[in-house]
């Protein structure tokens, strides 16, 4: 049924379409996975069949192209934001399976994480081996919410150091449990259904704190996810995942994590004190496949960008009715440059869109450039957007610079932020909005902006 492919079924689907490369040569965990990924970035998915020291293969790149995500949802590429918005509002509750779940075929108690699972080291200055693909599943201690979210995880033999985005519901749920003096039961899910992986990247504007995000994932798939009960807690575990690490996020414990080569293609360098997960058990399939996200490559960009596009489209349309399409450009790692297509009715709307796009939210904090274009410009075509900028913009009238706004991993903003502010998590930078629409005030000369055409 649509959207309910397991991770391995989706790999098989890509393979049948000629979009999966299988590498049989031995690959080293230290930088070797990244070297292979660079050969195929923005191309086919990859299955590394021979990982030195492990009998578990590694796959990556299932979202290497925007079209692969569209294929999962069975929609056109430019329709992805609308589909995510619509389906996220129509949750489908998960269903418990009978019998033993494939994700629990093998049970390893008190595991040495570094010996049991082939976590790679991706880049030279990374603090160690990292899990970049695991979605962390947990339940709210005093509410109905079931949360699924991404966080980078530095792996040690007996613990996991977790860098949690301040906007994520996971940190809210952890702090709630910590205030009660409780550890927070969690499960790190590796290689779940790709639909759950996509849902785990969704910002909070698409699924609230009280949402059952397993049900939201079911809504995206238009079919229920299959789950089973965890071994060490009452968490509902995806039944067809490849690998699951059960454990607890420990109250009143923080340890240094990082540096880490992250999505902007630079290192998130200042080590900081972050929460700690202590694992209790690993469960997995007998023939498990480890799923990796290669940081700062296209799968990372699309996974972060496409759900943010949906979140931004939803919020922008609520504030400015003329918005038609939005796009976070891959040249800006799907974070820093937002292109907004509007159906313009007056010359003030582009500025309204720019200010709305810079309003505080998880999706907007990375945005550094907002370019607003007319409905005759394709926001997904960088040449079309550049043409609009170069033929429809006068910088003294159409550029709006807004100083001292919250930013994220922008190196240019970080070097202009004090060390004291960085320690508090305050990254402050300037942002620019560009009105690349035809000026209606040009009146009878408006026609000179029209593209050449053939009748």
Listed in sequence order, the residues at least 6 apart from 93 whose beta carbon sits closer than 8 Å to its beta carbon are 212, 214, 215, 218, 224
Listed in sequence order, the residues at least 6 apart from 177 whose beta carbon sits closer than 8 Å to its beta carbon are 141, 183, 184, 249, 251
* Phi–psi pair at 341, nearest 5 degrees: -95, 130
**262 noted as active-site residue:** yes
Count Cβ atoms below 10 Å from residue 421 Cβ, excluding itself: 13
Q: What would the two tokens of residue 412 be? A: 């240019």
Q: What would the two tokens of residue 186 be? A: 């969690």
Q: Cβ(230)–Cβ(101) under 8 Å?
A: no
Active-site residue (options: 71, 126, 204, 262) = 262
**Which residue intervals of 148-290 are DSSP H helices?**
169-179, 194-200, 213-221
C-alpha separations of 184 from 153, 189, 234, 267, 455 in Å: 16, 16, 12, 29, 65
- Run of H or E residues at 280: strand 272-284
Q: What is the DSSP string of 120-174?
A: -B-STT-SS-EE-SPEEEEE-SSSS-EEEEE-EEEE-SS-EEEE--TTSHHHHHH
Q: Position of tokens 């080293």?
A: 28
Listed in sequence order, the residues at least 6 apart from 452 whose beta carbon sits closer than 8 Å to its beta carbon are none
The rounded Cα 94 to chain-centroid distance in angstroms is 22
**DSSP3 helix / strand / coil % (the chain, rounded to 5):** 30, 25, 40
Rounded Cα distance, 97 and 228, in Å? 6
Q: Annotated active-site positions, please?
A: 262
């Amino acid at each position: 049924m649509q959207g309910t492919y397991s991770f391995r079924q989706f790999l098989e689907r890509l393979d049948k379409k000629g979009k999966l490369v299988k590498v049989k040569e031995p690959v080293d965990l230290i930088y070797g996975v990244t070297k292979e990924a660079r050969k195929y970035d923005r191309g086919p998915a990859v299955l590394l069949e021979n990982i030195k020291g492990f009998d578990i293969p590694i796959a990556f790149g299932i979202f290497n192209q925007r079209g692969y995500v569209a294929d999962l949802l069975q929609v056109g590429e430019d329709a992805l934001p609308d589909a995510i918005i619509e389906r996220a509002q129509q949750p489908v509750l998960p269903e418990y399976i009978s019998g033993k779940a494939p994700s629990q075929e093998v049970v390893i108690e008190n595991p040495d994480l570094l010996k049991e699972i082939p976590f790679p080291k991706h880049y030279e200055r990374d603090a160690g081996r990292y899990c970049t693909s695991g979605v962390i599943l947990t339940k709210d201690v005093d509410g109905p919410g079931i949360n699924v979210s991404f966080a980078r995880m530095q792996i040690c033999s007996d613990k996991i150091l977790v860098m949690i985005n301040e906007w994520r519901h996971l940190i809210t749920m952890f702090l709630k449990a910590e205030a009660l003096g409780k550890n927070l039961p969690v499960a790190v899910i590796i290689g779940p259904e790709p639909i759950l992986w996509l849902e785990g990247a969704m910002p909070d504007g698409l699924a609230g704190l009280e949402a059952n995000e397993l049900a939201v994932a079911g809504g995206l798939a238009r079919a229920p996810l299959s789950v089973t009960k965890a071994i060490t807690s009452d968490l509902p575990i995806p039944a067809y995942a490849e690998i699951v690490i059960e454990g607890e996020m420990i109250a009143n414990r923080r340890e240094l994590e990082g540096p880490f080569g992250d999505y902007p293609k630079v290192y998130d360098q200042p080590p900081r004190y972050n929460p700690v997960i202590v694992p209790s058990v690993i469960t997995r399939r007998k023939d498990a496949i480890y799923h990796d996200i290669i940081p700062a490559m296209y799968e990372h960009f699309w996974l972060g960008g496409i759900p943010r596009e949906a979140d931004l489209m939803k919020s922008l349309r609520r504030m400015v009715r003329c918005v038609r399409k939005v796009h976070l450009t891959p040249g800006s790692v799907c974070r820093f440059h937002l292109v907004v297509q509007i159906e313009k009715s007056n010359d003030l709307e582009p500025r309204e869109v720019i200010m709305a796009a810079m309003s505080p939210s998880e999706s907007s904090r990375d945005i550094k450039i907002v370019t607003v274009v007319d409905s005759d410009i394709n926001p997904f075509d960088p040449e079309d957007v550049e043409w609009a900028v170069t033929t429809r913009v006068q910088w003294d009238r159409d550029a709006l610079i807004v100083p001292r706004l919250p930013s994220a991993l922008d190196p240019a903003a970080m070097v202009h932020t004090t060390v004291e502010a960085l320690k508090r998590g305050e990254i402050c930078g300037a942002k620019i909005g560009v009105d690349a629409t035809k000026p209606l005030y040009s009146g009878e000369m408006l026609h000179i902006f029209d593209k050449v055409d053939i009748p």
